[in-house]
Structure 1
């Protein structure tokens, strides 16, 4: 994870639902992220080929209906942090590491703990049983916050287990962890099929509740990261945020030029 003075570049998706209000999202042909949407929100929508939802709030029948309509369906899965409003929070409060910056209701989790790894594996099995095609894995950035060998091994164990389940594994962000893993093993085959990076071309100005254009330095940093993913024959996705039509066009053009699969949202709610 990398930060600039104004723009927070890599954002935990689990915290995106309560900032900047509602907004429309333009569809793209290839890829869309709708983790803030309920099944009713997606009815009669022109959805892209690959969609990301939070399948915990969908029935197997609703997921099957999306697939019958021709969509590949990935589900959101948070492996590195936990919110205190979750009904299972008290079961894992004893293995939390610290408060997630700017989000006092969320705690980083010690992913080296076996009981957390078993919980994530069981949750993933539940979601696979619903029929999803894979996982959109958030908060591997716990390794950025706590760069120990134990946390590295914990994240690796979780991702390897997800890969063994046979679904597609798409990591959101995770640059510090993924880069370290690649530097050690020279291949990402065992842990992921693709990476989604938020805010490569665009950025978020949290102080003024607005979207902007990223700095050249940060854009280059995340482009280098995604290019390494591509060089390992994995997929590279970008999730951008903007309400400016010119910036939106520029972001699409940049992603296309770089070989990334883009989705551009007008809202952090991702509905």
Structure 2
């Protein structure tokens, strides 16, 4: 009888333990905080691999804000990710042209020079009216209609490559045109153009924020390898980002393969300044 009694009292206890563990697991998962910011230009929602599409979408839902290549996703997938409270900024390369774009053949005649370290890419003449019109009234319109929360605009560094008034005004025309969609614009890089815009007093009328790569890290493209940024460059970028912040612009950082010690330093720097940052595992941004 003692054995029976022990068995009878044991099972409710066992069930209670299982229930407690399941509840704890569920709560831990449910309360897991979203990460602030991620840049994922190397992934898409339409992989064609069974199960992979859903895995990608679930990964993106873990962030409060992500940057994606819009052509890699359907409007339905964009809506699904946003339904989880994730803001989506769409990548748009305004200062350069990649040879894998479907519109490459139509616009390569407006390119200026090859893009160093990126064999498939060419700097573009942003003052060209046809290029401006396509970015604003075709790609901009198409991507805005997908329900994006903003644009992530790359390669305003063209003004560093060609620091003349024609290129400067060309960039202003493109940015002003994209403003018609009433979406925030974040410029990736482009520190020379950004500082010129701040000096001219028109930065906030043209764009809303900046993302700077490699403030604390740098890339050796010959390997590639991921290293710590040199002190001089780091100091320059920190001073530049302070100017951007003082001008009222939001600030984001994208670093590459920062180790745990460096990540703590970046995290502290961003907390002190109200910036967001993403630690990319590799150049592929997957």
Corresponding residue number in structure 2 for 1:15: none
1:32 aligns with 2:38: yes
2:243 partner SS = helix
| In 2: Cα distance, 1:226 partner to 1:37 partner | 28
1:171 to 164, 181, 187: 187
Q: Distance in 2 between matches of 1:95 and 1:267?
A: 31
3-state SS of 2:127 partner: coil
Shift, 1:206, TM fit: 2.3
What SS does the aligned partner of 2:206 have? coil
Q: How does 1:122-201 map to 2 (within 5 A)?
A: 122-184=138-200, 186-201=201-216
- Look up the match of 1:117: 132
Cα distance in structure 2, aligned partners of 1:120 and 1:196: 20
Cα shift at 1:243: 5.0
**Other-structure match for 1:79:** 94
What SS does the aligned partner of 2:283 have? coil
**Structure 1 stretches of at least 4 aligned residues deviating more than 4 Å after TM superposition:** none
Offset at 1:35? 1.1
1:42 to 2:56 alignment = yes
Is 2:198–2:247's contact at 8 Å kept on the other side of the alignment?
no
Determine if contact 1:143/1:177 at 8 Å carries over to the other structure: yes
Secondary structure of the structure 1 residue equivalent to 2:272: helix
Give the conservation status (yes or no) of the 8 Å contact 2:117–2:221.
no
For residues 216 and 254 of structure 1, the distance between their equivalents in structure 2, rounded to whole angstroms, comes to: 15
Counterpart mapping for 1:38-117 below 5 A: 38-39=44-45, 40=53, 42-45=56-59, 47-117=62-132
Greater share of residues in helix: 2
Out of 144-153 and 100-109, give the one that drifted further: 100-109
Following superposition, the deviation at residue 126 of structure 1 comes to 0.1
The normalised TM-score by structure 2 is 0.81
Contact 2:258 2:279 in 1 (8 A): no
* Contact 1:200–1:219 (8 Å) recurs in 2: yes
Structure 1: runs of 5 or more not aligned: 1-26
How far off is 1:252 after superposition?
1.8
Q: TM-score normalized by structure 1?
A: 0.86
Distance 1:61 1:161 in 2: 26
Query: Which segments of 5 or more consecutive residues in structure 2 lack a partner in the other structure?
Result: 1-32, 46-52
Q: Is the 8 A contact 2:111 2:122 kept in 1?
A: yes
What is the rounded CA distance, in whole Å, between the counterparts of 1:238 and 1:214 in structure 2? 13
CA-based RMSD of the aligned residues comes to 1.6
Structure of higher CA gyration radius? 2
**Higher relative contact order, structure no. (Cα contacts within 8 Å, ≥ 6 residues apart):** 1
